[in-house]
Amino acid sequence: MRIALFQPDIPQNAGAILRLAACLDLPVDLIGPAGFVLQNPGIRRAGMDYLDHVQLTHHTSWDRFEACLVPPRRLVLLSTKATERHIDFAFGPEDTLLVGRESDGVPEPVHARAGARICVPMRAGLRSLNVVTALAIVLGEALRQQNGFPTLDTVNRR
């Protein structure tokens, strides 16, 4: 399983997602252009020293990223426009969970390219969760289904 960030525009959210990925041992695809430089202090502040432990692949464009999406990889888009709840979706080990820009999601061609579109069910009348929060919720279910969490014997206890 992988995480993909489509043209992120808030460095602190990108840093928090990279930290989440490092802790769960998941690789990340960052699809540019980002709305900030990758050396932005906000990334380091949110990701802390965990950033040294994440497998990050930077793609300069959507086209470059899309070229890497060869079967059996499936693109699963987290979207407020989706009609399928994440808890009703069957995740697979080759899934790439894609989150869009915090400001406006993903463009229609990217939306159409996704093999699946899922949402986190939430209270009516509210717009959306923070992208990091939504991704963490979905990852919890996806990893549970795939038995993909680190085992207790590999957990670093302090």
Label residue 40 by pLDDT band (50, 70, 90): low
pLDDT tens digit sequence for 71-120: 899 999 999 999 999 999 999 999 999 999 998 999 999 999 999 999 99
Token digits of residue 47: 């990701």
CB within 8 A of 150, min separation 6: which ones? 24, 25
CB atoms within 10 A of CB 59: 18
Indicate the range of 10-19, 38-47, 136-145 predicted with least confidence. 38-47
Instruction: Report the percent of the chain where pLDDT is more than 70.
Output: 88
d(CA 43, CA 32) in angstroms, rounded, equals: 15
128 in Cβ contact with 80 (< 8 Å): yes
pLDDT in tens, 120-137: 999 999 989 999 999 999
Give the number of domains in the chain.
Answer: 1
Phi-psi region of 147 (alpha: psi -120 to 50; beta: other; left: phi over 0): left
pLDDT exceeds cutoff 80 at 47: no
Give me the percent of the chain exceeding a pLDDT of 90: 74
- Mean pLDDT of the residues in the chain: 90
Show the domain range for 118.
Answer: 2-154
Greatest alpha-carbon pair distance for the chain in Å reads 46
Summarize pLDDT for 49-64 with one digit per residue, the tens. 788 889 999 999 999 9
> Residue 113 belongs to a domain with what CATH number?
3.40.1280.10
Backbone angles phi, psi at 40, to 5 degrees: -55, 135
Question: What pTM, to 2 d.p., does this model score?
Answer: 0.90
Q: Say how far apart CA 147 and CA 49 lie, in whole Å.
A: 27
Residue 110 is encoded by which pair of tokens? Answer: 């990217």
